[in-house]
Amino acid sequence: MNTLGNVRPSDEVVVVTETCGGRLAHELFNRRPLLGTDLLAANSDNERGPNPYELLLMSIGACTVVTVRLYAERKGWPLGRMSVRLRHARSHAGDCASCERPSGVLDQIERLVDLPGPLDSAQRARLMRIADICPMQRTLARTTEVRTLQARRGPD
């Protein structure tokens, strides 16, 4: 994956930015306003919103911003209006030297955290460690079981 430093919202990147609208309010960007979802978002001129992977990235980004913001506030650190850029990619696990699984597909999420404000290097390092323990990331890192149940209907 390429660096996300100067990337604007596009087909591959989701951006989560704090707003002035409230202490924990955020704007979530992909290519269009968020009105719904569209599985074929990258291949359609008739988009209704982000695709499911973009929603996942937005969830991770929002969780990251909230987790870091609350920690900085608790410490009284001068964190400016932060943002997080995220990108999802897939590669074959065989291409990954540090992967535990020798075959299959490896999902990778790249997250670039911008920490504006007059923070010292120790504060920045601590906030980056805090970003890595946001609840959404911990959920993804654990083995997650998804149970699918059929809704009951009336008698046939």
Model pLDDT, residue 1: 42
In a domain, 1, yes or no: no
Give me the number of domains the chain comprises.
1
133 within some domain: yes
**Owner of token pair 């990235």:** 57
In a domain, 51, yes or no: yes
> Average pLDDT in the 82-102 region?
73
Are the CB atoms for 137 and 64 separated by under 8 Å?
Answer: yes
Q: Please give the residue that has the higher pLDDT: either 47 or 143.
A: 143
Within a domain: 5? no
Indicate whether 80 belongs to any domain: yes
Which CATH number does the domain housing residue 55 bear?
A: 3.30.300.20
Note whether residue 2 is domain-resident: no
Question: Which range (25-34, 85-94, 95-104) has the least confidence?
Answer: 95-104
Domain residue limits at 85: 13-141
Does residue 112 lie in a domain region?
A: yes
105-123 pLDDT tens trace = 788 899 999 999 999 999 9
* CA distances in angstroms from 122 to 33, 50, 81, 115, 136, listed in the order given: 37, 36, 19, 12, 24
Cα–Cα distance for residue pair 47/83, rounded to 1 Å: 25
Q: How far apart are CA 148 and CA 126, in angstroms?
A: 39
Is residue 93, in this structure, part of any structural domain at all? yes
Arithmetic mean of pLDDT, 125-150: 89
